Amino acid sequence: MIHWFYRFARGWLKIELYGREVMRFLNLCSKHGIDFWNVVCMDAQHVNCCIDLKDIYKLHPFLRKTRVRLRIVLRKGMPFLMFRYRKRKIFFAILAAMLIFTGVLSTRIWRIEIVGNASIGEETLLTYLGEHDISYGTQKSLIDNDAMELALRQDFDSIIWASVYEEGTKLVVCVQEKIASDRMEPEENNGYTDLVAKQDATVSSIVTRSGIPVVKAKDKVKAGDILVCARQEILDDNGEVKEYFYQNADADVIGEVVYDYEDWIPQEQILSKQTGRTHTKYCVRMLNRQIVTPDIHAAFSSSESIEDMKQLCLMQNFYLPVYIGKITEYEQEKEKINVSMDSAKDIAIQNLEQFLDKLEENGVSIIDKNVMIEKIDKKYHVYGKIKTCEDITKTAPTEMKTISAEPEEEQDEVQTSREGNNE
Instruction: Set out the domains of the chain in order of their start, with CATH numbers.
Output: 2-83 (3.30.70.260), 111-177 (3.10.20.310), 269-338 (no CATH)
CB 168 within 8 A of CB 314: no
Q: What is the pLDDT of residues 21-52, one digit of tens each?
A: 889 998 899 888 888 988 898 888 899 999 98
Question: 2-16, 98-112, 181-195, 293-307: which range is least confident on average?
Answer: 181-195
Stretch among 39-48, 123-132, 285-294 having the lowest mean pLDDT: 285-294
Per-residue confidence at 336, pLDDT binned at 50, 70, 90? confident
Neighbours of 321 (CB within 10 A): 18
* pLDDT score of 179 more than 80: no
List all residues 6 or more positions away from 347 whose beta carbon is below 8 Å from its beta carbon. Answer: 265, 339
Burial-class residue 152 by CB neighbours within 10 Å (0-12, 13-18, 19+): buried
pLDDT of residue 184: 46
Q: What local confidence, expressed as pLDDT, does residue 402 receive?
A: 74
Closest CA to 199 of 387, 382, 358: 387
Q: According to the per-residue pLDDT averaged within each range, which of 277-286, 310-319, 413-422 is highest?
A: 277-286
Query: Nearest 5°: phi and psi at 377?
Result: 55, -120
pLDDT class of 218 with cuts at 50, 70, 90? very high
**Higher-scoring residue by pLDDT: 62, 84:** 62
Q: Mean pLDDT, to the nearest integer, of 234-245?
A: 82
Does the pLDDT of residue 77 top 90, yes or no? no
Alpha helices, DSSP H, located in 107-176: 122-131, 145-155
| Tens-digit pLDDT profile for residues 143-154 | 999 999 999 999
Q: Are strands 318-338 and 241-246 parallel, antiparallel or unpaired?
A: unpaired
For the segment 256-262, the average pLDDT, to the nearest whole number, is: 94
Taking 70 as the threshold, does the pLDDT of residue 185 lie above it? no
The pLDDT of residue 54 is above 70: yes
Residue 201: pLDDT above 80?
yes
Which pLDDT belongs to residue 367? Answer: 93
| 7, pLDDT greater than 90 | no
Are 184 and 395 within 8 A, CB to CB? Answer: yes
Cβ–Cβ < 8 Å for 296, 268 = no
Whether the pLDDT of residue 350 is over 90: the answer is: yes
pLDDT of residue 169: 87
Over the stretch 365-410, which tens digit does the pLDDT of each residue have? 999 999 999 999 889 999 999 999 999 999 999 888 877 655 444 4
Taking all residues of the chain, what is their mean pLDDT, rounded to a whole number?
A: 84
Averaged pLDDT, 135-146: 89
pLDDT at 388: 94
| 54 in Cβ contact with 87 (< 8 Å) | no
128: CB partners within 8 A, 6+ apart: 152, 155
Give the distance, in angstroms, between the CA of residue 311 and the centroid of all CA atoms in the same chain.
Answer: 19
